[in-house]
Structure 1
Amino acid sequence: MTYPRPEGPPGYPTPQQETWPSYPPHHPTYPRYAEQYASYAAWLPRAEAFFLDCLINFGPMWVLMGVGYAIDEQSSGDSGEVPASIVSWVGILAMLVAVVLQLIREGRTGQTVGKAFFAIRAVRDSDGLAPGVGLALSRRLCQFLNWPVFGLGWWWAIWDTKKQTFADKITGVVVVGADVEPARQPAVGGW
């Protein structure tokens, strides 16, 4: 026994027609940011920005620890230990605050104070946007991998096509000129 195939409402395809429209994929692939812009930051401005950031982050700590050492050396006996310790701990606290503020700034804008002074910024290679605090922290932690073998990871940016260090390659970040604007992003969903 065979049953008749039901007919749908007017305007709907019948089972024999099977002509459903094809829709484009939900997430089209966009060209990578780094392929759109050739304004990668040169090695020297990157090195100068890194040096300036080190001075900003660690300079107050070095100065205050030096002052604490001088206080301890000039005092006789144990009388200078407490003030010297307090000054040194204030220096360590100042360093921690500077490092955290620089990290937040780089995550939100792509620029630390040193990068802003030398007109460069770090962006995600995939879409050209600021890296975000989590990716900026990951990049900072991966920068320790640049130091082994005579700092090869830092020197790598001299001859690399995208001017990336090892940490940049691992985290998917490129450093570009600050005047380079991110690519326009199409609206998601097409509404």
Structure 2
Amino acid sequence: MSYPPPPAGDPYSQQQAYGQQPYGGQPVAAYAGWGARFGAYLIDSLIFAPFAILAAVLGTGTDAATGLPTINAMYYVFYLLGLVVLGYNRWFQGGKTGQSWGRKALGIKLVSENTGQPIGAGNAFVRDLAHILDAIPCYIGFLFPLWDAKKQTFSDKICKTVVVR
């Protein structure tokens, strides 16, 4: 029995149920929506919160003589530790597997638009830096996935990445 050839075009644009097999036998993923992307980003950002709270509580005080606020070494230790954990999660883990802890919790994955593979730690870092461009025009770049065909932000377009389910 012969099957028709697979449809031409973008493999991610085919909206199929999770796990359903397309013509070639490989599961096809669909683009992740704005809500899932925002939720994953929120989870990833909240990972830094305990370190920031510890830095503020244990790393600050008041000078007894002047009454002015002071910052001690613990502030920098907790803040730096938080940045290390955030970097591991977003850049190393997210670049290596395509899933940060937030993306994993919401079942989405960051991949290269061309290869469908995770983008690596360096490119994940560059993509996060490119989010500055999403913020410049009144944060409109972060809302771009609401109407974009591939649900990409400006930084996704620059780095040639997509977020899929």
TM (norm. structure 2) is 0.77
For the 8 Å contact 1:32–1:126, the answer to whether it is kept is no
Tell me whether 1:63 sits opposite 2:50 in the alignment: no
Tell me whether 1:129 sits opposite 2:117 in the alignment: yes
Tell me whether 1:170 sits opposite 2:158 in the alignment: yes
Distance in 2, matches of 1:138 and 1:147, equals 15
SS in 2 for 1:77: coil
Cα root mean square deviation, aligned? 2.5
Tell me whether 1:104 sits opposite 2:104 in the alignment: no
The amino acid of 2:43's aligned partner reads: L
Moved over 3 A (4+): 30-38
Any idea what the Cα deviations from partners look like across 1:37-82, whole Å, max 9, x if unmatched? 46100000100111111111x213320232036x513x6338xx88
Give the aligned partner of residue 72 of structure 1. 61
Distance in 2, matches of 1:32 and 1:125, equals 9
SS in 1 for 2:110: strand
Task: Tell me: CA distance 1:108–1:39, structure 2 relative to 1, closer, same or farther (3 Å).
Answer: same
In structure 1, stretches of 5+ residues that fail to align are 1-29, 178-191
Task: Tell me: CA distance 1:31–1:132, structure 2 relative to 1, closer, same or farther (3 Å).
Answer: farther
Distance in 1, matches of 2:29 and 2:108, equals 13
Give the aligned partner of residue 40 of structure 1. 31
Distance in 2, matches of 1:46 and 1:31, equals 24
Tell me whether 1:92 sits opposite 2:82 in the alignment: no
Any idea what the Cα deviations from partners look like across 1:63-118, whole Å, max 9, x if unmatched? 0232036x513x6338xx88x51220122221221122111001110011110111
Distance in 2, matches of 1:98 and 1:77, equals 36
* More deviation, 150-159/91-100: 91-100
How many residue pairs get aligned? The number is 143
The structure that has the greater radius of gyration is 1
Distance in 2, matches of 1:144 and 1:33, equals 29
Distance in 2, matches of 1:133 and 1:40, equals 21
